Amino acid sequence: MNNLNTLKIKISSKQIKAKVEQLGRELSDEYKQENPIFIGVLNGSFIFLSDLIRALSIECEISFLELKSYDGKESRGSVDIIKDLNINLKNRHIVIVEDIIETGNTLKYLLNKMEKIPTKSIKIVTLLVKDTYRPFEFTIDHIGFEISQEFVVGYGLDYNERFRHLDSIYVLE
């Protein structure tokens, strides 16, 4: 029961494609002569990460981590690990790829988990960040789009596992 009538376009597939290509160029310049590990935070980031690595002109490795912090439209305030990392991050450049950052709880949890590992660097790339009027406890190195507090779906983002398949980002009304 996908009622697409409840969706209003927010960011078109054309806008997303242009932004992903720009981010790919920026990251390729940053990591020339390096082989960074891109870590996708599942499930939402898989489409963004897939397009992003194809926009790179550098070698890289990929791994995934699955964390759960939302039920429906609400943040639960806690983070559960569903699938942990299965790659050695020691002395590597790490690029964490998120679909959307709102409260920052998921990334704060992940960064705290990784702080014990001696990495060369850790950078954060997100397709979307919500204007939350509060500072995060970490730096977001690359942001695709800043959006308002509306609940969005599409391009990997979901509402109870629905709407991930859409090629644009929509406001769920």
Beta strands in 31-141 (DSSP E): 37-42, 61-71, 74-83, 93-101, 121-130
> Which CATH architecture fits 13-148?
3-Layer(aba) Sandwich (3.40)
Rounded Cα–Cα distance for residues 59 and 4 (Å): 39
Model confidence, pTM = 0.89
Q: Where are the domains of the chain?
A: 13-148
pLDDT tens digits in sequence order for the chain, 173 residues long: 356 668 999 999 999 999 999 999 999 999 999 999 999 998 889 999 999 999 999 999 999 998 876 665 565 567 778 888 888 999 999 999 999 998 888 888 889 888 889 999 999 999 999 987 667 788 899 999 999 989 999 999 988 889 999 999 999 87
Cross-strand pairs, 41: 65
